[in-house]
Structure formats: C-alpha cells, structure tokens
Copies of this chain bind each other. A is one copy, B any other.
Amino acid sequence: MTTRLVLGSASPARLAVLRSAGVEPLVQVSGVDEESIIDSLGPGAGPEETVIRLAQAKAHSVANDIVPDLDGVCWAGAADVLDCVVIGCDSMLHIAGELQGKPLSPEVARERWKTMMGTTGDLLTGHCVVRVRDGAIVDEATGCSTTRVHFGTPSEQDLEAYLATGEPLEVAGAFTLDGLGGWFIDRIEGDPSSVIGIGLPLVRELLGKVGVTVSDLWG
C-alpha cells in the first residue's frame, strides 16, 4: 500500500527533489517562528542540533495539524492523510564558524560570495520524519546530513549577473546547486539532494526507522 508523504515546507526545490525521486507529496507549510526556536536553544546549541530542532518543530507543527484534537477536529485537508509520514527540513550553511541562512538582499549576498569564493563551507540539512497512523503520531526519527561545498570563483561579470537574477537571495548560504548557482560550485563531498534541501538517502534511512520503505511512497 502506498504511504502518503506530507512535506512540511514551502521550498519549491525540496518539492522538485521529491517529485524527481518519484513522490508526489502533499505540501503543508508550518507556521513555526524560527527565530524564537533558535533563541530558545541558547548560544550553546551546535549547528547540527540547531537544524534538527528547526526541522523537528516544522514536522511536529504540521503533524499536529493533521492529528485530530480532543474534539475530533483536524485540518480540513487532513482527512485523507490520517495515515502518512510528515517530513520537516531546515538547511543552513556553516562557514567560518557561523550558521548562515538566506541573505535576503543583494548586498549581503555579494558580501558573502566575496568571502566564500574559492573556499569551502558545510551545508547542513536537519530532517525530522514523523509517522502518523490512524490519526495519531506513533513514531519519529531525526538526523542531519552535512555536505562539504567547494565554492568556485565566478568572474566579476558572472557574479553580478548571478546576483541580478535574485536567485541567491532567497536560499540558505546564498547559493543553489540545482539552479544558476550550479556553475559556481566546483565540487561537493556528501549528498547533493541534502544541499538542495532534502537528503534522499538520509530520508530513506529515517523512513526505515519508522517502518516505511521507499517503494511504499512510489505508489
């Protein structure tokens, strides 16, 4: 029997990875306040813990919308997903001892590229898989996929053209691997899907921990 997958993310890149990998998830975006979660972790939280906790908060928020409350009321679209797996993810670039999210402005993106070109950083993606069965959360598994990224050195002309497209502004670490940024990533060591935003081999492992195999999702 096909197990339905619910992706707790608005990221078109994550959705595209899953579709290419044979899965058409239901997309349900969580409304978690990322900043307050980071604040609650305190300054001692390591980069892996941070992205896992954020992924966990997103997955739980979506799973709780699916699971009926005490009055038996659940999110309107949830009726057909009372048996499903919810996935939450969070990606950040760990570089020069700092965790970086989206740059949001061309100035910040330019500044980051000028320091990161020709160097390496670690792209971390935290994952949380929540198993919902018969309308109840019955299991979960979490993990972090870390991939070393070797940044190339775009020419001044190429960097300005890249910034002008707007693409790097809205992505963790100011680059994409699966878009225009792919020209400027010389190599990686790790899982490319985790760099795009959802690590297929890690998700496969986490699914196995909650009793679901990949071909269950293919339908």
Contacts and interface: CB of A to CB of B under 8 A. Distances in A.
Interface of A: 17, 20-22, 147, 152, 154-155, 157-158, 161-162, 165, 177-180, 182-193, 200-201, 203-204, 213-215, 218
A192 B204 contact: no
Given A189-B187, A191-B187, A214-B158, A22 B204 contact: no
15 contacts: A21-B179, A21-B180, A154-B214, A157-B213, A158-B213, A158-B214, A158-B215, A165-B218, A183-B200, A183-B201, A183-B214, A185-B191, A188-B190, A188-B191, A188-B192
A122 to B, nearest CB: 13
Given A158-B214, A188-B190, A183 B152 contact: no
Prevailing SS type, chain A contact patch: helix
A155 to B, nearest CB: 6
Contacts of A189: 187-189
